[in-house]
Structure 1
């Protein structure tokens, strides 16, 4: 009984080995996770197990997030290679699958973990009128995710005053200022982003609070001017007619 079980297990392992494809990568992956950075070049090679007979049904197919990749005929046989160049942010989380054309259950997959920093390190000039609202925004999309802190004039911003509000959805971090006042809100703000891989970076905002400009509605103002002008013109015409009537011919 022990011998028969051993033989059965041996046959099972043999069958599993025959029906298999594997993916090799450069650089090397950890398990089925390939960690890399933007602008790098990646090479994936799918290999048929030696036990698989070459045939049309045993051709290799590649899929990127479920969409089939077009391959040259000579790149579908016992070895099939893909080159990803350059790696971009959009490649993060992408899954490549290599499988047999005739048996999709015979497959191997690899997932990309693309690391990249947020697109920051710049300065913006921001002008806001007294008592108006303003929003400062930072693009913080990054892998790995970053932490965010807001500073004003080099000091950590006190968010308890009630005139500030922060939001962070993992893609954009925002600082909202309500009813700006020159003596309170004017200054240099810094959106400080801290990455465990890329260090500290951020965006600077030079916020200038200007005097509030009184604005009059253009439409009603123009209409009022027209009415006044028309009244003056009619008054002058009426006055002229009255004067003419008073003048007697010689």
Structure 2
């Protein structure tokens, strides 16, 4: 997100008043919210009320989520402009506040409502050993939120069988397959999102179930071998000492 000084794009503005500070926005705001989309430009302009005197009380400040924005000196007096360009996902919910430097209680704020789709539309290959658990994850973060459905080989999954578990916190949607079996679970899985704004989007997982590899605990195995070897050596030494004593 880049903030720069703007001196134009002030048409079709929405004006709201809080005491002696006015904030104008393009595109037009609905109340204190400006709706926009990723890669677009939002222009914010702050002006002071003409009834105030001409002293330095007219100096303005901008804050983004409470953090002071660095302004050039000529962009602080009477009238101050900002550009959010280009708008990014991280700007969603960002609150821009214009206030008098001499009196922070004289202020006005605008919040950005950035619409963006979920980051999907790709394919991932997943290899998993039989009887292991597998978790398939989709980034479903979007504004407005989307509806999520899971499919296998283009058919909706029956989530009532207990063979699958799903979670969705609005950011990540996950499908868990516990103790996967090749003949039951291998195939193409799809995480599909739908919304009135972005229609259908999806991510595909090609799940291949491989033979389970027997794994031996290397550490305990080595320790056991060492113990056996030491026992054998001690037994041989003891046997030799016993034979010497018998023949002495």
Q: TM-score normalised by the shorter chain: which range applies?
A: 0.7 to 0.9
Match of 2:125 in 1: 125
Match of 2:3 in 1: none
Match of 1:196 in 2: 196
Residue 53 of structure 1, CA deviation: 2.0
Distance 2:83 2:119 in 1: 26
Q: Count how many residue pairs are aligned between Structure 1 and Structure 2.
A: 227
Matches within 5 A, 1:84-233: 84-226=84-226
Query: SS of the residue aligned with 2:74?
Result: helix
Specify the structure having the higher radius of gyration (Cα).
Answer: 1
Distance 1:108 1:230 in 2: 82
TM-score with structure 2 setting the length: 0.82
> Would the aligned equivalents of 1:117 and 1:195 in 2 still touch at CA under 8 Å?
no
Q: Structure 1, residues 44-69: CA drift from partner, whole Å, max 9, x if none? A: 11112222222222211111112222
Query: SS of the residue aligned with 1:160?
Result: coil
Distance 1:18 1:38 in 2: 29
Residue 220 of structure 1, CA deviation: 2.5
Question: Structure 1's 18 and 171: CA in aligned 2 closer, same or farther, altered over 3 A?
Answer: closer
> Would the aligned equivalents of 1:18 and 1:49 in 2 still touch at CA under 8 Å?
no
Matches within 5 A, 1:41-52: 41-52=41-52
TM-score with structure 1 setting the length: 0.81
CA RMSD of aligned residues (A): 2.5
> Would the aligned equivalents of 1:119 and 1:139 in 2 still touch at CA under 8 Å?
yes
Distance 1:186 1:19 in 2: 65
Distance 2:102 2:133 in 1: 62
Q: Which moved more, 1:63-72 or 1:157-166?
A: 63-72
Q: Structure 1, residues 103-156: CA drift from partner, whole Å, max 9, x if none? A: 333222111000111111111111111111111111111111111000000000
Q: Structure 1, residues 171-211: CA drift from partner, whole Å, max 9, x if none? A: 11010111111111111000001132121111111111111
Match of 1:31 in 2: 31
Distance 1:67 1:153 in 2: 49
> Would the aligned equivalents of 2:191 and 2:204 in 1 still touch at CA under 8 Å?
yes
Residue 40 of structure 1, CA deviation: 1.6
Distance 1:182 1:209 in 2: 5
Distance 2:232 2:96 in 1: 81
Distance 1:18 1:150 in 2: 48
Match of 1:69 in 2: 69
